[in-house]
Amino acid sequence: MTNSKNIESASITSGIADLAKKIAGRTATVGVIGMGYVGVPTMMAVAEAGFHVMGIDTSLDRVQSINAGLSYIEDVKNPSLEPLVSQGLISASTDYALVRGLDVILVCVPTPITKFKEPDLGPMQVAVSGLAKNLGDQQLIVFQSTTFPGSTEEFVLPQLEALGNKAGRDFYLAFALERIDPGNQQYLVRDLPKVVGGITPACTEIASAFFSSFVDSVIPVSSPKVAEMTKLLENTFRSVNIALVNELSVLCRRMNIDIWEVVDAASTKPFGFMPFYPGPGVGGHCIPVDPFYLSWKAKEYDFYVNFIQLAAETNDNMPYYTLSRIGAILNDHGLPLKGTKILVLGITFKANVNDTRN
């Protein structure tokens, strides 16, 4: 008599082997949900590796732009995008039903915060709902959106398994953090080590195999939580150190010390120091947002990350401090703040980007 568990095991082995073969042969079809500053460069990197890529987004304008070979992402130039569209390697749609025919799905939707500094999982919920309704067999699903530790296992997994599908058997689920740095032409998608944590060892293995096809270095970790926490550690590290130098800049102002000269001098130390520079606050998609995902989740464990919260408060106060300094400087010149025309050179969160959000 044939053992049903053996049949099931053989079926799983066969399913993941077929998927691995498709990935190795570049015949796997890849979907990218969310065509923003992470999704579009990811589509480019995957297509340049030889895969056919379908972008899925709720914005019809974005879809039409990509299908016309026109990039709205500064780091992706039209001369690079257009040939891939013409060759049929990149296309886009608003139809989540197309997910059924894909082999690999990468989720790159935004994960913002509310005005109360709490996670806004709306975009992620739309993506998960669309996946759950259109889940195919033996698909690899990888979330790349930065979020709190436990999101993949506690928020995503239950919804994908709600209709009886099982991760590691019917589909493969993992989290792989993104490290795209807008405006940075030195480190592109291929150059950024990819940390991958799957729900099961098989999930980690097949996700690592996929990313290895277009990323130079892949680092498997023991779970999605580890990968999720890794991204939050990276960005919280920056937030805390930016807050430190922002606070010191205020102190140095009172002490009549040039903080820029101090940082430059400290940077001559060949070990144990990394320079951070003061500014009117923090901006971008990550630093003003990600630490709040961690502090929110920490409360579930009756843990209050006071250090992180203090850094956020310091950085959030810098725009007000900057305004007070402008007022003081104008006053020194006998000018009122109201009615005075002020020229601002550079309004994005850093140089060489055109995104004015955050």
Per the document, the length of the chain is 358
Q: Which of 108, 203, 252, 286 is catalytic?
A: 286
**Pick from 307, 296, 240: which is nearest to 116 by CA?**
296
Q: Are strands 139-143 and 218-220 parallel, antiparallel or unpaired?
A: unpaired
What does the alpha-carbon distance between residue 67 and residue 51 come to, in Å, rounded to a whole number?
Answer: 17
Q: In what order do the strands lie in the sheet with 171-176?
A: 90-93, 52-56, 29-33, 104-107, 139-143, 171-176, 194-198, 218-220
**Pick from 26, 275, 33, 77: which is nearest to 188 by CA?**
77
What does the alpha-carbon distance between residue 244 and residue 277 come to, in Å, rounded to a whole number?
Answer: 9
The question of whether 286 is a catalytic residue gets the answer: yes
What does the alpha-carbon distance between residue 73 and residue 353 come to, in Å, rounded to a whole number?
Answer: 10
3 state SS of 268: coil
**Pick from 95, 92, 46: which is nearest to 71 by CA?**
92
How many CB atoms are located within 10 Å of the residue 95 CB?
A: 11
Kindly list the catalytic residues: 286
